[in-house]
Amino acid sequence: MPFPTFHVLLALVVLGIPAQPLTSSAQTRSAPAKPTSLVSAQDSVRAREIDRLLRRYAAAGQFNGAVLVARRGATVYSSAFGLANMEQNAPNTLHTKFQIASITKTFTAMLVLRLVDRGKLDLNGKVRQYLPDYPSPAGDSITIEQLLTHTAGIPGDIGDFPTSGHDFPDRVTKINGDFYTLDELIPMIAARPALGRPGSAFRYSSDGYAILGAILAKVAGKAYEEVLRDEILRPLGMTESGYVRQTALLPGRASGYRQTFGGYENSRPIAVTPAGGMYSTVGDLLKLDRALFSDQVMSARAKTLSWQPTSYVTSYGWQVRADSGASAAGAIKVRGTGALPGFNSYFTRTLSDSLCVILLVNTRDMTFRLDEITEGVLSVMRGRRPREPQRSVAQVLAESVGTLGIEPAISRYETDRRAGFKGQYLSETELNSLGYHLLTSGRTGEAIRVFALNVEAFPNSANTHDSLGEAYMTAGDRDNAIRHYERSITLDPNNANGVAMLRKLRSTTP
């Protein structure tokens, strides 16, 4: 079966985690040092090492965007790589405006907590207290905190075909074309079946943050984008950031691209909502980093709520992780991340040594390396050698298939495998994606060969057998399809797709 996109996978892997509401009893962590404008000679040397590292990622086709690295609010390194518009050959710059996707949730959560601090919102308040037209019983039971922590039982993203269930593609197309206002979108979100009892489990939900945006607008008496502008963007001088519909003219806006194993293509549009509708630059996000050293945008209480360790993947708009690379015991790092068709974004802050790494890219690559790049940059900033970039085995194989054909490409793959894939890394996900790229392109025989390589490399993966079974099924090879679906179910008895396909295969006459 195909792997889901990164932001959907992020949500799915934690389905069913018991909900543990955040409380105000967490102790406030010591604040980082105040921002400084000085960069040490040692950091100047590290900047050159970071530049070398980023150039290698860019040369490997694994980074197309802008980067900024800071210590205590002072820029240590900033640069841009690749193209903002591939059709016009326009380069990315430090002032290129990127869609920051779910980092918008970080801003929405900060806005909510600012109104909580003023007594205009209550974390335990119910949705219908602020949106009287929101239907019962959900509106009378879902709290603001549950929306912030993705525990409200709200489905994922009404604009995403997989999570919308393909049940109204015409409406989804209109949603992603920004045909609906936020006020028009909320009743559609409310009409979707709940995924569980509010407060019972973590289920990542962009729609929950769209509801929060509507609540902000209602309480503030103005549009969400005006609340965002007046509360955060204008006070911080974030003049290169904002929230606009896709049809608006925006000078300096990067185009988004989706990478396939055949090259790049323009990405599809997706709805602009308070869950993922913002754009920004690396320089503007540095202004946010600087503001977070004080209480200018987040109070001490808001930071306590948002930055305490949790079992959730993300909560209050932030991901909170152990910072294993820090010298301080128990150190944590906080980050906002975002992924849309054509864009990925990472905004990472370390609380023990006040480092900030900002990565904004306008490609959705088959090889996702932003987490690895962030960790590599942090290693350099801490005086350690980073992991060197490696080429993707799947990418090399794809290039070989395109230039040499399937048989010579597999021969080269086998040669590289016997040599231990020197300078390359092998990813089950990426090899699987290549197989599906071939399968959906009508190249079923080649897809079978690639899926078979993945089964050989990862024989105990239910997914590799499921994918090979699907390819054999497409080719009309019933016996081999059954054999691999059976193996997939043996490895993962909960593979509902495999069970359904086996039932279908066995019901047909050989």
422-471 pLDDT, tens digit each: 989 999 988 998 999 899 889 999 999 999 999 999 999 999 999 999 99
Query: Is pLDDT of 168 > 90?
Result: no
Quick one: pLDDT at residue 205? Answer: 93
Strand partners for 258: 265, 364
Question: pLDDT tens digit string along 74-115?
Answer: 999 999 999 999 999 999 999 999 999 999 999 999 999 999
Looking at residue 119, its pLDDT comes to: 97
Task: Please indicate, yes or no, if residue 156 is contained in any of the structural domains.
Answer: yes
- Quick check: is 1 in a domain? no
Give residue 169's pLDDT.
59
Helix/strand/coil for 349: strand
Q: What 3 state SS string does 105-160 have?
A: HHHHHHHHHHHHHCCCCCCCCEHHHHCCCCCCCHHHHCEHHHHHCCCCCCCCCCCC
Name the packing angle between helices 444-457 and 462-475 (round to 10°). 160
Task: Look at the chain and report how many structural domains it folds into.
Answer: 2
| pLDDT on residue 246 | 78
Q: Which of 196, 214, 229 is the last residue of a domain?
A: 229
- State the pLDDT at residue 419: 95
- Residue 20: other Cβ atoms inside 10 A: 14
**Predicted structure pTM score:** 0.82
Average pLDDT over the chain reads 88
Distance CA 112, CA 362 (A): 28
Q: How confident is the model at residue 310 (pLDDT cuts 50, 70, 90)?
A: confident
Read off the pLDDT of each residue in 242-265 and give the average, rounded to a whole number.
87
Greater model confidence, 18 or 304: 304
Distance CA 346, CA 336 (A): 6
User: Which segment, 121-130, 170-179, 189-198, is predicted with the most confidence on average?
Assistant: 121-130
**Within-domain flag for 418:** yes
What is the mean pLDDT of the segment spanning 32-60? 84
| Placement of tokens 């008895």 in the chain | 493
**Interatomic CA distance for residues 482 and 472, integer angstroms:** 9
Using pLDDT thresholds of 50, 70 and 90, give the confidence band for residue 366.
low
Residue 210 lies in a domain: yes
Residue 162 lies in a domain: yes
Q: How many CA atoms lie within 13 A of 21 on its CB side?
A: 15
Per-residue pLDDT band for 16 (boundaries 50, 70, 90) equals very low
Q: Which domain range does residue 171 map to?
A: 104-229
DSSP assigned state of 253: B
Which domain-ending residue is among 229, 252, 287? 229
* CA angle, 504 then 509 then 510, to 5°: 105
Among 229, 251, 267, which residue terminates a domain? 229
Q: What is the predicted pLDDT for the residue at 30?
A: 35
Q: What is the CATH number of the domain that holds 111?
A: 3.40.710.10
pLDDT digits (tens, 9 = 90+) for 51-70: 999 999 999 889 999 999 99
